[in-house]
Amino acid sequence: MFCQQVNYKYKILTLNFSIIIPVYNRPNEIDELLESLTKQEYSDTFEVLLIEDGSTKKSELIADKYVSKLDLKYFFKENSGAGASRNFGMENASGNYFIILDSDVIVPTQYLTEVKKSLENNFTHAFGGPDTAHSSFTPLQKAINYAMTAVLTTGGIRGKKNAVGTFQPRSFNFGLSQKAFKITKGFSTMINGEDIDLTFRLWESGFETQLIEKAFVYHKRRSTIQQFFKQTFGFGSARPTLNRKYPETAKFTYWFPTMFIIGIDLSIICMFFGYYQFLYFYGLYFLILFLDSLFKNKNLIVAFLSIITSFTQFLGYGLGFLESLLFAKKEV
């Protein structure tokens, strides 16, 4: 594990939240997110910083609708990527604890209250929150959410839920103290995996992370299979880079999607030689996955689509992982 030279145990006496939202060409989603922030049960003040990352479809008019309802600051900057936009927001924030949200999330009314309660009871300089599907989401969005969160797919890969210090937050719902930001310098210039990279650097600097389970968000993710494949391909391509940069964090489980896809290919080849047993195994797996999704979502269409999205996730992540492993690209 990491050699931690300093352990930052002291807590912030008074939490002042700044919510950082980078956005690129998603004005409709921003409208939903800002609307959800106006409905917070949280009694203290908080600010919202909307960072427009060189969008051609600007969100400025949407932001104008909420300046009387929220302490909202809108910034437009040249396109530099989500990580740099998050850093820009934190550099211009006045709070002492930053909450970073993706533009495609909706925040439930109790979100900030739960964050404050958890940090006051068990303070860490960084946290992550889970995501789930809202009842208004399309069947495909619910199926994508299932594929990304289910234990039967790769849902447990982020770290143990109840283990303080070892959870790997994701940037769609990421909390970071001002102190931790100043020491780590925030997100790197990695195109994919920049949130995991930041988590590892937080650990190296002596900061702990935690999962705040009740601080969940409704996460739309991608709206088509093609977009979802592209996203998971990026996730997979980032992992070998992170393994090379932080070899002590490498785990065999990161190979599972790639081995899964290779296994299917070998099973199909074996079928032509009269060996069907391996395909039976995959058929049983997808049947169990279908039943699990049906039990959780109570919807036959979502359960069927969950098979497609789970396979897409394994295929995208597995191929991305393999390409990055074989054709390594230097990341900062």
* 3-state class (DSSP) for residue 61: helix
Q: What span, in angstroms and rounded, lies between the C-alpha atoms of 156 and 253? A: 10
Confidence of residue 101 (pLDDT cuts 50, 70, 90): very high
The pLDDT score that the predictor gives to residue 223 is: 77
Contact status, residue 85 vs residue 74, Cβ threshold 8 Å: no
Q: Which of 106-110, 223-227, 298-302 has the lowest mean pLDDT?
A: 223-227
Confidence of residue 76 (pLDDT cuts 50, 70, 90): very high
SS3 at position 140: helix
Phi-psi category of residue 228: left, alpha or beta, with phi > 0 → left and psi -120 to 50 → alpha: alpha
pLDDT tens per residue, range 270-301: 998 888 888 999 999 999 999 999 999 999 99
Alpha helices in the chain (DSSP H): 27-37, 60-64, 82-91, 111-121, 139-149, 178-184, 194-204, 225-245, 256-271, 277-297, 300-326
> Collapsing DSSP states into helix, strand and coil, what is residue 175?
strand
Q: Given phi > 0 = left and psi -120 to 50 = alpha, else beta, which region is 209?
A: beta
pLDDT average, residue stretch 67-83: 95
DSSP 117: H
Residue 5 has pLDDT above 80, yes or no: no
pLDDT at 249: 85
Separation of alpha carbons 131 and 327, rounded Å:
32
- CATH class, 17-129+169-220 region: alpha beta
How would you list the strands of the sheet with 97-101, edge to edge?
71-77, 47-53, 17-23, 97-101, 173-177, 126-128, 209-211
- Judged by average pLDDT, the poorest of 126-130, 179-183, 221-225, 238-242 is 221-225
User: In terms of pTM, does the model score above 0.85?
Assistant: yes
The mean pLDDT of the chain is 90
The residue-averaged pLDDT of 80-87 equals: 94
Q: What percent of the chain has pLDDT over 90?
A: 78
pLDDT (mean) for 317-324: 94
**CA dist 299 → 150, 259, 303 (Å):** 16, 30, 6
Q: Determine the Cα–Cα distance for residues 71 and 295; give it in Å rounded to an integer.
A: 41
Is residue 53 classed as helix, strand or coil in its secondary structure? strand
Q: Average pLDDT of 70-78? A: 96
At residue 48, does pLDDT exceed 80?
A: yes
Question: If you write DSSP's letter for every residue of 223-289 in order, what string do you get?
Answer: SSHHHHHHHHHHHHHHHHHHHHHSGGG--GGGGHHHHHHHHHHHHHHHHTTT--HHHHHHHHHHHHH
Specify the pLDDT at position 1.
Answer: 52
- Per-residue pLDDT at 122: 93
Tokens for 186, please give them: 């925030």
> What is the mean predicted confidence (pLDDT) over 77-90?
95
User: Domain segments of the chain: what residues?
Assistant: 17-129+169-220, 236-326
